[in-house]
Amino acid sequence: MRMGLKQKLFRGFADPSRLKVLEGLLDGPRCVSELVKATRLRQSNLSMHLACLRDCGLVHSRRNGRFVYYELANSEIIRLLQAAERLLARVSQRIEACPRYQGDSPSRVQRGKAKR
């Protein structure tokens, strides 16, 4: 697989709002109002992220009367999120302590270390 596509995929999962949406769909389809409650995102912001996830093929939508329900596009997404939880159970302390992931990009962290 091309590296660029893999980077785009993980960038989508790295966005906190999109990750909340994906995790909010783990238990099955939900309408927008249910996702607003589950994610605590504003409806306009949620709709933007849902459109992005739908355009990328990570979620599907279906209309039922006046409601639109969203669900994960396939079980691979569920397995990926579950695998991330298993991995975090093993390495979360090290990731949390890692100075390279403190909200700064690695290049800024490295520049900061070089100045010390």
**Lowest-pLDDT choice from 16-25, 48-57, 73-82, 102-111:** 102-111
**Bridge partners of residue 71, in order along the sequence:** 60
Q: Which range marks the domain in which residue 99 is found?
A: 3-115
**Could you give the number of structural domains in the chain?**
1
Q: Which CATH number is 15's domain given?
A: 1.10.10.10
For residue range 60-100, list pLDDT tens digits in order: 999 999 999 999 999 999 999 999 999 999 999 999 999 98
